[in-house]
Amino acid sequence: MLDPLLLPDAVHAAREKLRPWINSTPVHRWFTLEKSGLLPDDTHVWIKLELFQFTNTFKPRGALNVMLNADAAQIKNGIVAATGGNHGIAVAYAANRLGHKARIFMPHTASPLRRQRCLDYGAEVIGCDSLGQALDLAAELQAKENLVFVHPFEGPYTAQGTATIADEWKHQAKTELDAVIIAVGGGGLIAGMGSYFKQVWPGIEVYGVEPTGAPTIHTALQAGHPLRLENIRTIADSLSAPIAMPYSFALIQKYVDDIVLLSDDDMRKGMHFLFNEMKLVAEPACAAPVAALLGPLRGRLAGKRVGILACGSNLDIAVFAKEVFQAQLS
C-alpha cells in the first residue's frame, strides 16, 4: 500500500505548505529540439527548469519538507546532514530560512563552490573522506545529540518533497506526458516524482538515468534489494550516492520502468548541448536526461510526449568549461 503522504492530495498540500520558500519553476516546450532532426518525427519534448530553484537545484523541496514536519523539540537541538554538495546547500538554505542551526558533513573532494555556499547560509561544514563516511558520521552525530537528520534522498518527507515537482508540473502541463526522464543519484527524486506521476497519469513511463561509474540503483534493481557500492567514479558528483535505501528503493521498484546508464562522455555532450541550444550552464546530472533522450532512449521514446527534468546547476565555471571543452574533443 502506498504511503498516504504520497497520495496526490497530500503532495499538493505539501507544495502549498512549501510555497513561501520555493520557486515555481517553468516548463518549456522544446520546439528547437523537436525540429532539429536529432529525434524521430512526432517526438514532442517539454523541459522543466528546476535548476532555477532556490540554491539552483531541486533539493530545497525535500530539505524544507523534512524540517517543516520534524519534531518541534528535536529540531531545536539542530540539524545534521551528509552531502556531496547540492543537498548540503539546500539544507543550509532551509535551516537559514527557518531559523535553525545546521551541521553538514561533506567529502574533502566536494566542489569548493558548494562548500562555500553552505557556509554563506550559516551552516557549519565538517570535512570527511567520502560520501559514505559522511552519511555514517551524520548518523552518529544525530544519535549522540538527538538532532534532526535530513537525509539526502531517503524517507517519506523527502519523497513527498520531490513529488511536489511532479504536482507542480502536472498543474503547469497543457497535455499529459507519455514519458518522463529523471536523473538518479540515491533515488529520492525519482521515487517521489515517479510515484506521483504514475498515480495521476497511469500510462506514463518513468525512466531514470545513472552514470556507468555510479550505477547504484541499477545494480540494486538487478539484485532485487538495496545495497552499497564501494567503487564510485563519475564526473556527476550529484549522482554519486554509493548506497540504495529501503524506502526510496521500494518506490523505484514499483513506479520506475527502467534505469539507463550513461558514460561521463555522454553527460559532457549533454552539457554542451544544453549550453548550445538553451544557454544553460548545466551540471552533469542536469544534462543526463537530455543525453539519455538523444542516446539510449531515442528510439524507445519515438513519437511520444516526453518530459525532461533539468535538476540543477551548481558547478564552478572553470569546471563547466573544462567538461564542455572535453565534450568537443570526444
Domain end, chosen from 149, 181, 214, is at 149
Question: What's the domain count of the chain?
Answer: 2
Which residue in the block uniquely carries the three cell numbers 520558500?
21
- Same domain membership, residue 213 and residue 84: no
pLDDT, tens digit, 9 for 90 and up, residues 9-47: 999 999 999 999 999 999 999 999 999 999 999 999 999
Whole-number Å distance between alpha carbons of 25 and 235: 26
Copy the grid coordinates of residue 320.
563547466
Domain end, chosen from 115, 133, 149, is at 149
- Same domain membership, residue 275 and residue 174: yes
Q: How many residues does the chain have?
A: 330
Whole-number Å distance between alpha carbons of 101 and 111: 22
Q: How high is the pLDDT of residue 314? A: 85
pLDDT, tens digit, 9 for 90 and up, residues 101-120: 999 999 998 888 889 999 99
Could you tell me the CA-to-CA distances from 246 to 129, 227, 261 in Å, in that order? Answer: 24, 9, 21
- Same domain membership, residue 314 and residue 176: yes
Strand arrangement of the beta sheet that strand 124-128 belongs to = 124-128, 102-107, 79-82, 148-149
Is the pLDDT reported for residue 3 higher than 80? Answer: yes
Percent of the chain with pLDDT over 90: 88
Percent of the chain with pLDDT over 70: 99
- Same domain membership, residue 111 and residue 19: no
- Same domain membership, residue 125 and residue 240: no
Amino acid of residue 274: L
Confidence band (pLDDT; 50, 70, 90) for 1? confident
- 202-214: average pLDDT: 98
The secondary structure of 8-61 as a DSSP string is HHHHHHHHHHHGGGS----EEE-HHHHTSSSS-TT-EEEEEEGGGSGGGBSTHH
Confidence band (pLDDT; 50, 70, 90) for 169? very high
- Same domain membership, residue 136 and residue 262: no
The whole domain housing 83 covers 60-149
Contact (CB, 8 A) for 60 and 90: yes
Contact (CB, 8 A) for 90 and 67: no
Domain end, chosen from 115, 132, 149, is at 149
Q: How high is the pLDDT of residue 111? A: 84
Confidence band (pLDDT; 50, 70, 90) for 149? very high
Is the pLDDT reported for residue 330 higher than 90? Answer: no
Contact (CB, 8 A) for 292 and 209: yes
pLDDT, tens digit, 9 for 90 and up, residues 71-104: 999 999 999 999 887 999 999 999 999 999 999 9
pLDDT, tens digit, 9 for 90 and up, residues 38-70: 999 999 999 999 999 999 999 999 999 999 999
Confidence band (pLDDT; 50, 70, 90) for 174? confident
Measured N-to-C along each axis, helices 156-172 and 8-18 cross at an angle, to the nearest 10 degrees, of 90
- Same domain membership, residue 296 and residue 192: yes
CATH number at residue 72: 3.40.50.1100
- 257-280: average pLDDT: 96
